[in-house]
């Protein structure tokens, strides 16, 4: 085995027996056939953001060269290759007044993100990215390249949208775009050490009950490193911020966020009207490769007491740096095509995401903290988020409910009986289909 660069996620070794830098679907088909003939497992990587864990042996198919984007402004669709990032799709769609259902980080692989469901910054208005897929091209375990649509291969069409990477290697897909060219968005940052942070978490669940579906928001809490690369306003501080993306007018957005501004003094306020191409600035996700572990808990709801307790466990006194993000769900995420794909837990009201750098700690210590957080939230947890399990691919419990998991397992037994892509749902590890 030979070690190769791990991509965006640097926390886990990548040591396959063979690396295939695919330039097209034919290369992917040949790689899968070769793996099948040699009895080797298959892992897939585009950018590596969502690497589920170490890659040891087998065949690694790298799809970064498959980064094509074709926009059809009349049909409002984008045809994207397996290695295409969301930033590329956003830039290509913008001249037509259109936008994809992308996430917060422009460097994330669009196809892998969509296979896990795809929770975007406009999710409450338009649903999951998987809800907008029109067709997919996938190489299944028998080495066959299939064009998957609702009419042709309907079972695969259901399972690939929200089921993850175990049904084959998706070489490209066509997805619908939405008519969004601008939005009102940004963040309001509060001092987490001064009491305002806890007050934000007390008020946030109630505030979300008043919101229209056109406003998607989240809360983030973290202790920023005291280093020159961090803006002076937040350097070394424990910061709790609310991030907003609203497709309505700026005046309407100002009215909706007024209760947040009334909480108290802010460290920074970037809320403004912006072209959609500037939307990555709402979250300002780090663009540089690093080592991290993460998990996501789907919650039926959230009460202020438990929310504040999570802050206490993960704040300045936590044993390691932990980034907490609380996403408000509902709206179209709960209703759009709810029975037509494998995206689970539509009933969830919130998603709690946890992420910890691994530079100065280890996975065991991080897991111990996460288990304590999960214990606080246990009565509210309905499942886990496949999209946001970073490095936790050896824990597959909770990614789908029983009926969805059983249906997906049936598809795996039909299309990947040799378990090239990771085996049955609910047992074994997730095929590291890093975004």
b/e burial code for range 180-191 (CB count within 10 A of at least 16 → b) = bebbbbbbbbbb
Please calculate the CA angle 144-146-152 and round it to the nearest 5 degrees.
Answer: 140
pLDDT value of position 431: 38
pLDDT value of position 194: 80
Q: Are 77 and 177 in contact (CB under 8 A)?
A: yes
pLDDT value of position 315: 92
Which residues of the chain fall short of a pLDDT of 50? Answer: 427-434
């Amino acid at each position: 085995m030979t070690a190769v660069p791990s991509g965006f996620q640097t926390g886990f070794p990548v040591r396959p027996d063979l690396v295939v830098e695919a330039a097209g679907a034919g290369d992917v088909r040949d790689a899968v056939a070769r793996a099948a003939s040699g009895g080797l497992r298959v892992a897939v990587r585009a950018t590596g953001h969502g690497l589920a864990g170490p890659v040891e042996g087998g065949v690694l198919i790298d799809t970064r060269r498959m980064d094509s984007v074709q926009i059809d402004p009349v049909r409002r669709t984008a045809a994207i290759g397996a290695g295409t990032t969301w930033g590329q799709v956003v830039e290509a769609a913008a001249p037509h007044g259109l936008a994809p259902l992308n996430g917060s980080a422009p460097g994330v692989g669009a196809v892998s993100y969509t296979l896990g469901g795809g929770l975007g910054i406009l999710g409450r208005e338009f649903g999951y990215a998987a809800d907008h897929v029109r067709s997919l091209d996938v190489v299944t375990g028998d080495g066959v390249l299939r064009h998957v649509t609702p009419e042709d291969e309907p079972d695969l069409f259901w399972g690939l949208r929200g089921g993850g990477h175990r049904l084959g290697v998706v070489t490209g897909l066509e997805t619908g775009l939405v008519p969004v060219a601008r939005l009102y968005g940004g963040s309001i940052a509060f001092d987490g050490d001064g009491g305002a942070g806890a007050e934000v978490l007390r008020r946030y669940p109630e505030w979300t009950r008043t919101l229209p579906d056109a406003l998607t928001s989240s809360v983030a809490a973290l202790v920023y490193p005291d280093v020159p690369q961090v803006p002076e306003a937040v350097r070394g501080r424990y910061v709790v911020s609310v991030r907003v993306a609203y497709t309505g007018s700026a005046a309407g957005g100002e009215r909706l966020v007024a209760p947040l501004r009334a909480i108290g003094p802010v460290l920074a306020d970037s809320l403004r009207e912006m072209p959609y191409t500037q939307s990555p600035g709402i979250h300002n996700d780090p663009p540089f490769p690093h080592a991290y572990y993460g998990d996501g808990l789907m919650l039926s709801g959230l009460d202020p007491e438990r929310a504040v307790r999570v802050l206490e466990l993960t704040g300045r006194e936590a044993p390691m740096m932990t980034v907490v993000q609380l996403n408000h769900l509902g709206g179209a995420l709960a209703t759009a095509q709810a029975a037509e794909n494998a995206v689970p837990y539509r009933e969830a009201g919130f998603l709690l995401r946890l992420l910890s750098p691994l530079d100065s700690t280890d996975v065991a210590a991080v897991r111990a903290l996460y288990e304590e957080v999960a214990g606080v939230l246990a009565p509210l947890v309905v499942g886990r988020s496949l999209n946001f399990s970073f490095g936790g691919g050896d824990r597959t419990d909770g990614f789908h409910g029983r009926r969805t998991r059983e249906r997906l397992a049936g598809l795996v037994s039909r299309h990947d009986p040799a378990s090239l892509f990771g085996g049955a749902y609910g047992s074994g590890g997730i095929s590291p289909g890093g975004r």
